[in-house]
Chains A and B, each alone.
Chain A
Amino acid sequence: MFSLVAFIPRAVQQGIPLLFGSTGETITEKSGNLNLGIPGVMYVGAICGVIGAFFYEQSVPSGDLNGFLAVFIPLLCSLAGSFLMGLLYCYLTVSLRSNQNVTGLAMTTFGIGFGNFFGGSLIKLAGADVPSISLSQTSAYFSKTLPMASTTGWFGKIFLSYGFLAYVAIIISLIAAFVLKKTRTGLHLRAVGEDPATADAAGINVTKYKYIATCLGCMIAGLGGLYYVMDYACGVWSNDAFGDRGWLAIALVIFTIWKTDVGIFSSILFGGLYILYLYLPSGTHTEYKELYKMIPYVVTLVVLVITSMHNKRENQPPHSLGTNYFREER
């Protein structure tokens, strides 16, 4: 039976990784960098958090975890891992002016390989004697809901029943929207993305803005991976489980027409579409479930086509998106 109160929290849980990813990618794209490496970055963010948590759980006797460290260590590892990926992308595309599409795809290959490799071999490499990576203790800290969640009925279920990272995602996207729209830094960043030559002439340090925006974007996107594995997947790493959410996050950037605050609702909508197949009737014909799984991609494609049909100026991607800037090249 379909119940909206049960459906919305699940949609939100599916949507939060997408929200992290799309917020990060929006900030990156505003600087003119089309980072197709986001799927890889999200894997790296997830696995680095897992590695951090794994060693912390191994090093202390079970049940003795310090709540603060159990959250802080994976968070720091995850941020560091995705930051390094961002730095690599920036070094290749901004400093070495490589093709952004190819660099991004190479990062995705590398990142997904990195995640699956350490996910599959961590136990062997670390010489630990556990059958599989299951970080239920760390996960318990990550998925701790607000205290009123269980006592406030449907309201608590829909609004309060998530781990802290979910609220962090929403706060980050609101801050990002504010900074991009209302502050001088945001104005400079948008200028860099629209026309780096003009921004350079106006005295804005193009390289610095591109580096900071891309690395920050990657760190935010990496948190999406961390949320997925620690909160949604209850701390259990399984290879390829994260799937194609990274690509959906990139698609979501277009869906939200480069506005991170719109992303909050759109990501939840996408999250709902992603699990809609579980709720649609298919009877004994399980094959139709596979067709229902197509829905988010078809919707994205349709939105993509529709936004390009309405050729409005304010809905366009940053003008220099995908091209590199070299001062001496006009």
Chain B
Amino acid sequence: MPMKNKEPRFYISKRADADRRTAWTIRIIAIVISLIVCGIVTMICTGDNPISIFATIFKGAFGTQRKAWITLQYVAVLLIISLALTPAFKMQFWNVGGEGQVLMGGLSAAACMITLENKLPNAVVILLMIVTSLLAGAIWGVIPAIFKALWNTNETLSTLMMNYIATQLVAFFTIVWEVPKGSGKIGIINQNSNIGWLPNIGNKYLLSILVAIIVTAGMYVYLKYTKQGYEISVVGESLNTARYVGIMVEKVIVRTMILSGALCGLAGLLLVGGINHTITTTITNGQGFTAVMVSWLAKFHPIGMIFTSLLIIFMDRGASEISTAFELNQSFADILTGIILFFIIGCEFFIRYEVRFRKDSGKENA
């Protein structure tokens, strides 16, 4: 209808009380829609019918007992990295350097395994691996934190650069330690002696899962019930408030990044010592970046991260099953993950804001 004053068709206002049930309903709707879109995209690419597509996805993640264990193990590693990044995010320190911190942890674990074989007893080697990889991750995390604390250097970019420096360090040592010479890779470390292999508990997957459970519980308590956790949230909410109440912001930044980096190092230790028993430049497989999204999607809530990391890994494993079945490229998983992420990112808007459509435009205009 013709109008003189252009009036918007809908209004946006902030929800006064975003209650939990509405929030979760909206999130679940978003996930369902995103799964439908993923199904349609897969259908276009493969020509398969949607039900069998989702059956394949499920089979890829939980089809056999072994697959289910591997899925859970992947979830555990991603969860640890996400938890590691969380305290930093809570204080608005955008640590996208998870990749580098995990790699450094893995690199020092590998270094212990390779250089100390036949020199020290297994238990001592493992102990040294734990100490050095936590330390290496912490150092890699604390360098950008010091820059941030001293000169307010943009942490997103400095942590990003640290990733590539770590990648090149790993590439350097890969060639130094390559077996056999000229192959460009290290291969399984200590295949015969198994020195430095983290012990199996029950089966070879359970160790990472147990560590992840402990870290989750620990992080939940740390963020919610300790003084340091409280300081982190104050710094994140408002720098001025934090300074006003006497919190040493610089100290909190450095301390939190030591913790964040050390936990990333722990994930590296598990990847090298417990799961792969080798190191490559791509051992992290982009999980340092995925973890940023896992953590954010769960609103930095440790328990919520169990579900978000499960969702991401589930789709990832499922999509790679689809790409194997239809001889497509493995990157198909990234596309599906991307689609799901876009929907969940977008749905946060409808949780925070209310959209009201203008009902009776004629009356208001008159």
Contact = CB atoms under 8 A, between A and B. Distances in A.
Interface of A: 34, 36, 88, 91-92, 95-99, 101-103, 105-121, 124-125, 239, 244, 247, 250-251, 254, 286-288, 290-291, 293-294, 297-298, 300-301, 304-305, 308-309, 311, 317, 326, 328-329
Interface string B153-171: 1101110111011001101
A297 B329 contact: no
Contacts of B172: 287-288, 290-291
A110 B168 contact: no
Interface stretch (B128-136, B257-265, B290-298): B290-298
Nearest to B350: A96
A103 B345 CA distance: 7
Interface string B327-353: 111111111011101100110110011
Contact of B153 (A107, A113, A125, A305): A305
Contacts of A329: 14
Nearest to A114: B335
Contacts of B152: 308, 311
Nearest to A307: B153
Contacts of B327: 124
A309 B154 contact: no
B345 A98 contact: yes
Given A121-B328, A300-B161, A305-B158, A102 B292 contact: yes
A120 B352 CA distance: 40
Interface in B106-144: none
A114 B333 CA distance: 10
B68 interface: no
B58 interface: no
B165 A304 contact: no
A297 B165 contact: yes
B289 interface: yes
B198 to A, nearest CB: 28
Interface residues of B, number: 54
29 contacts: A92-B342, A92-B345, A95-B349, A96-B349, A97-B353, A98-B345, A98-B346, A101-B94, A102-B341, A105-B96, A106-B338, A109-B290, A110-B335, A110-B338, A113-B333, A116-B334, A121-B332, A251-B161, A287-B173, A287-B175, A287-B176, A290-B172, A293-B171, A294-B165, A298-B161, A300-B161, A301-B161, A304-B154, A305-B153
Contact of A317 (B154, B286, B330, B332): B154
Q: Is the interface of B mostly helix, strand, loop or mixed?
A: helix
Contact of B345 (A106, A121, A287, A311): A106
Interface of B: 12-14, 45, 94, 96, 147, 151-154, 156-158, 160-162, 164-165, 168-169, 171-176, 286, 289-290, 292-293, 296-297, 327-335, 337-339, 341-342, 345-346, 348-349, 352-353
Nearest to B144: A301
B329 A117 contact: yes
A298 B165 contact: yes
Nearest to A111: B338
Contact of B151 (A98, A124, A250, A309): A309
Contacts of A118: 329
Nearest to A101: B94
A304 B153 contact: yes
